[in-house]
Amino acid sequence: MQVVILDGSADQPAIVQHIALAGRALGADITHYALADIALAPCLGDFECWTKTPGRCRTRDAAPDITQAIHDADLVVFLTPVVFGGYAFTLKKLVDRLIPLTDSFFHEQAGVTRHQRRYARYPAMLFIGLAEQPDAETRSLFAELAGGNAINLQTPWFRSLLLTPQDAMAQPQIESAIRAGLTATEGAALPALDRRTLARACAPDPVTANSPPPRSAAILIGSARPKGTSTSESLARALAADLERAGIASKLVYAISFVKDGHMAENALAELAGAELLIVAAPLYVDALPALVGRALEQLGAHLAHDVSPLRQVVGLLNCGFPEADHNRSALRILRAFAHANGLVWAGGLAMGAGEIIHGQPLHQARFVARAQIRALRLAAADLAGGCGISQKASRDMARPLLPAWLFRLVAPLKWWWMARRHGVAWHHLHARPLAAAASSKVNEAG
């Protein structure tokens, strides 16, 4: 048996030791990845791991080898400090790179669009979050995120634990969970999607009704794609234009500036901290915000803890690749948690599905399918300029499907076929299983 520990904790050797000892006691071999010490590039969001090198990320760093180890494992443990209810950057930077494990094609699962399985077999997954005195919202959000990852990473068994590192009960809880994971017993039920969750995540804090309107906004674009090519930037530019017309000066800041420490990151941080309103315009990466957005928020939170800033409000403007906007709910809750953790007002959220239909084109060029979204951004700009949080009508309009889900699932393969053809990849190779082939070769060599 194989247990893989994806360690995003950096400074919790006792917890790692508990996991390793519990696995070894059951006869498992342990592979430990200390992610804080491993250089990993951010996911570029270009889908080439589905259409150019199907089933493998083309970026040459440690992620492909770690992904192979995950595929070969019996149990994978995701270990992370809980940051704004979600994963720390150290773990999220790897999680974003795991989409080669899934197939690009879609199907309906429990009334919602999901990715199909690429492999016949997937490991059990245990998600362990470390937090000091977590409240009910933190517990709920971490469990929701772990459940979403369990579905999208195709695991047959999962459980999530939220622990206080110094808790004397941490060791027996970990031992019990490792035993259950390796024997596929007593797993958590995969979460069902509650359609009301998105509306609750989008709802602004009540205090926004009495807030003075912001005079300036910084819009953080979370996509790592080249400038001018992402749906996140298309939405951001449309909203920025509406805000400017409403009297709110707006600047675009790119999360890719935070890929490493230095002047670019410092300047981007200053732009974010220097505005009265922060708008995060980002795609959904594996059920949550992209890792670079998480890193930007972590650094901004540290800055706000020590320096005076005019920043008062936070807004989310998210899009996902699934046709249902509901998939954005956990990421919006993370943004709300960031706002509250830093004494800021959550001014509401806007969430859109099927973002790849826009694919970086100016929003007005897609007005045939995006009429409701154009209207939503105008309403949201008027709401914010009027000193209010984003209205329910704006959030509802933004979440209207660009295409019916059944039609989206029907036509989506055409996009993958078109991209694959550009790369010279045959249609049937889109479902390649390179990790299974590599694992089989190892077994044959060992034999």
What average pLDDT does this structure show over 197-225?
Answer: 92
Task: Give the whole-angstrom CA distance, residue 358 versus residue 223.
Answer: 14
Band of pLDDT at residue 165, cut at 50, 70 and 90: confident
Give the three-state DSSP class for 249: strand
Give the three-state DSSP class for 232: helix
What average pLDDT does this structure show over 91-110?
Answer: 96
Band of pLDDT at residue 170, cut at 50, 70 and 90: confident
**What are the angstrom distances between the C-alpha of 329 and each of 92, 147, 219, 335, 410?**
17, 13, 20, 10, 25
Confirm if 301 and 231 have CB atoms less than 8 A apart. Answer: no
- Please say if the pLDDT value at position 293 is more than 90: yes
- Please say if the pLDDT value at position 444 is more than 60: no
Task: Give the whole-angstrom CA distance, residue 178 versus residue 76.
Answer: 10
- Please say if the pLDDT value at position 23 is more than 90: yes
Q: What per-residue confidence (pLDDT) applies to 113?
A: 96
Band of pLDDT at residue 440, cut at 50, 70 and 90: low
Name 140's bridge partners.
none
- Please say if the pLDDT value at position 327 is more than 90: yes
Residue 6 parent element (H or E) = strand 2-7
Entry pTM? 0.96
Give per-residue pLDDT as tens, 351-407. 999 999 999 999 999 989 999 999 999 999 999 999 999 999 999 999 999 999 999
Q: What per-residue confidence (pLDDT) applies to 439?
A: 75
Task: Give the whole-angstrom CA distance, residue 268 versus residue 245.
Answer: 24
Give me the DSSP letters along 317-351: EEE-SSS-GGGGHHHHHHHHHHHHHTT-EEEEEEE
* Displacement of CA 216 from its chain's centroid (Å): 27
Task: Give the whole-angstrom CA distance, residue 90 versus residue 81.
Answer: 9
- Please say if the pLDDT value at position 442 is more than 70: no
Max CA pair span of the chain? 71
328: tokens are 């954005």
In 3D, which of 233, 229, 225 has the Cα closest to residue 252? 233
Give per-residue pLDDT as tens, 416-439. 999 999 999 999 999 999 999 887
Q: What per-residue confidence (pLDDT) applies to 10?
A: 81
Q: What per-residue confidence (pLDDT) applies to 207?
A: 82
In 3D, which of 8, 40, 27, 42 has the Cα closest to residue 225? 42
Handedness of CA 146, 147, 152, 154 (dihedral sign): positive
Confirm if 193 and 144 have CB atoms less than 8 A apart. Answer: no
First to last CA, the chain: 17
Give per-residue pLDDT as tens, 34-79. 999 999 999 999 999 999 999 999 999 999 999 999 999 999 999 9
Q: What per-residue confidence (pLDDT) applies to 411?
A: 95
Q: What per-residue confidence (pLDDT) applies to 438?
A: 83
Confirm if 205 and 345 have CB atoms less than 8 A apart. Answer: yes
Q: What per-residue confidence (pLDDT) applies to 357?
A: 94
376: tokens are 């939503």
Give the three-state DSSP class for 102: strand
Contacts for 97 with CB less than 8 Å, ≥ 6 apart: 40, 43, 57, 59, 63, 67
Mean pLDDT in the chain? Answer: 94
What average pLDDT does this structure show over 326-346?
Answer: 97
What average pLDDT does this structure show over 128-157?
Answer: 95
Q: What phi and psi values does residue 199 have, to the nearest 5 degrees?
A: -60, -40
Confirm if 274 and 303 have CB atoms less than 8 A apart. Answer: no
- Please say if the pLDDT value at position 202 is more than 70: yes
Q: What per-residue confidence (pLDDT) applies to 13?
A: 86
- Please say if the pLDDT value at position 345 is more than 70: yes
Query: DSSP strand E in 275-408: where?
Result: 277-283, 313-319, 345-352
| Amino acid found at 66 | I
Band of pLDDT at residue 446, cut at 50, 70 and 90: low
Give me the DSSP letters along 122-137: --EEEEEEE-SS--HH
| Amino acid found at 7 | D
Confirm if 23 and 182 have CB atoms less than 8 A apart. Answer: yes
* Displacement of CA 140 from its chain's centroid (Å): 16
Give the three-state DSSP class for 198: helix
**Exposure of 409 in the CB half-sphere (CA atoms within 13 A):** 14
